Amino acid sequence: MTELRRRGGGGDTDNSDANISDKEADGEERQASPEEAESKAETPDVPPPSENTPHCLNKALEGLPPRWKNYWIRGVLSLAMISGFFLIIYLGPITLILVVMTVQIKCFQEIITIGYRVYHSYELPWFRTLSWYFLVCVNYFFYGETVADYFGALVQREEPLQFLARYHRFISFALYLAGFCMFVLSLVKKHYRLQFYMFAWTHVTLLIVVTQSHLVIQNLFEGMIWFIVPISIVICNDIMAYLFGFFFGRTPLIKLSPKKTWEGFIGGFFSTVVFGFLLAYLLAQFQYFVCPVGYNSETYRFTVECEPSDLFVLQEYTLPAVVQNTLGKETVQLYPFQIHSVFLSSFASLIGPFGGFFASGFKRAFKIKDFADTIPGHGGIMDRFDCQYLMATFTHVYIASFIRGPNPSKVLQQLLVLQPEQQLSIFNTLSSHLRERGMLPPAGL
């Protein structure tokens, strides 16, 4: 805590006195190496999470070695979470959006709470209030953009929404400026440096959590398959890497996460690629999963009806000569999306874990085991979604780079927002274009 006291002090003399008194009071620190002393000084004390495993589960597993007890706790809770995930998918897009928002808020709360626990002794003015205020501002901006893009017809029917949609970005900027001014007014002389630390802490948290969760929802509107497959393959990789590491792990993978092994990493990779390939084949058969999520302004409901694109239509592929000799077949029928799933699975297995390593480094910096104790055996919500956010960004970039074409539902919503004369001009231009291509009969017939 020496460094924290040094940062909070008002002058060099007070800091020197505090440092001397600290060293006199702590005999062990005087004997430690300079590196260890610096590490101890710079690392704040964060209270460890409490044990919250259900009593019935603890009682059922008592007598087992700690390693196997943790294995069963993680297994039971993993099955419960997977079952909940299936239920959420069944309930449809609106439920998925609400769940993403809930997860986002919980992840934000866990990271901000760590910052608050680290610096709570300084009683920084308005820190928590401003953190949540900025969360509201950023969500208002992102979700307002989504409403304007996908719910244009609804916006046109409601006059208050028309005003909010027209001046959305100005309102968002004004709200942020209000928070910025409040932060400047809250600055206190002896806490300047810490307050700017926490200002940066809040904004980096918003960048990691809110921006990524917005991309998750954008992926969902491209079709539920772009939401389900990326999330599922990360879950699969996490489970299979854990199982391979638990039973066969011998070789450490990275110092940041000592329990990770090469055996788990490699086993998780091959398992995830196979799982993603099969899951893609299964989901590509159903219109409910492959169609872009749209909003029907007449029924006020989300719709997932369309003519599936070529990406989700079976096509015949010629196998390489080596594979032909092995399988005795020259061609195979696949959905093109299955090929894309291999790239998604490879990213989830090879690059995705670095999101977890990043989180491990963050937790080691503050000497905590987990972000929170929300899920017994797993830690906090952020512990489960550290890789998911990285995967969401990759999926969004992948869709934009290699997949996305015009979204008819989104284009229609934007057309409905235009003035009548603009709509009529577009109608006439489109009619002329279709007649030239022979898709409409000539005018006058």
pLDDT in tens, the chain (445 residues): 444 334 444 344 444 443 433 333 344 333 444 444 444 444 455 555 555 666 666 666 677 777 777 777 777 877 888 888 889 988 888 899 999 999 999 999 999 988 888 766 557 778 888 999 999 999 999 988 888 777 766 777 777 888 888 899 999 999 999 999 999 999 988 888 888 988 999 999 999 899 999 999 999 989 999 999 999 999 999 999 989 998 998 999 988 888 889 999 999 999 999 999 999 999 999 999 999 887 776 777 778 888 888 999 999 999 888 888 888 888 999 999 999 999 999 999 999 999 989 988 888 888 888 888 877 767 788 988 888 989 999 999 999 999 876 667 667 767 877 888 988 999 989 888 888 888 888 876 5
What's the pTM value of the predicted model, to 2 decimals? 0.77
246 CB burial (10 A radius; 0-12, 13-18, 19+):
middle
Q: How far apart are the first and last CA of the chain?
A: 86
d(CA 87, CA 39): 46
Beta pairing, strands 315-318 & 252-254: unpaired
- Cα–Cα distances in angstroms (integers) from residue 87 to residues 95, 96, 388, in the given order: 10, 10, 19
Q: Write out the H or E segment, with its range, that includes residue 296.
A: strand 294-296
For every residue of 113-142, DSSP letters joined together read: HHHHHHHGGG--TTHHHHHHHHHHHHHHHH
d(CA 43, CA 366): 6
Given a contact cutoff of 8 angstroms between Cβ atoms, the answer to whether 304 and 93 are in contact is yes
Radius of gyration of the chain (CA): 27
